[in-house]
Amino acid sequence: MKQLIVHGDAGFRRDDVIEVDGEELVCFGVNKQGDWHGPDEPQMWCTVGTEDERETYDKRQYVPNWLDTESVDAEDVEIVSEKNPLNV
C-alpha cells in the first residue's frame, strides 16, 4: 500500500483499478485537491494498493504517514477497470 499523488485529473475514482509504471493498483481512497483555490491543475491524493491489502485499508490497520509516497503525472496513469455504481 502507498500514497499516490497524481498531478492533474486522471479520471479515475475510488475502487477503480489503475496501472502505473506497469503495476496494477486498486484505488482505495481519493482526495482531490486544488479545484477551487489550488494550483493551475488539480491534484489527486490517493491511497492505492493490491486487492490483498483491501482488508488492511478497510480496518485501518496501517499508519498513513508511514506509507511510501509516489508522485506521477495524470498522463502516466491508465485506467484498467472502472467500478461505476450508475451502470449496475
Query: Which tens digits make up the pLDDT trace of 14-57?
Result: 999 999 999 999 999 999 888 777 678 899 999 999 999 999 99
Q: Other C-beta atoms within 10 Å of 28: how many? A: 17
H-only helix segments in 1-88: 54-58
Q: Specify whether the CB–CB gap between 80 and 19 falls below 8 A.
A: yes
8 closest CA partner among 45, 61, 49, 37? 45
Instruction: Specify the pLDDT at position 88.
Output: 47
Task: State the pTM of this model.
Answer: 0.85
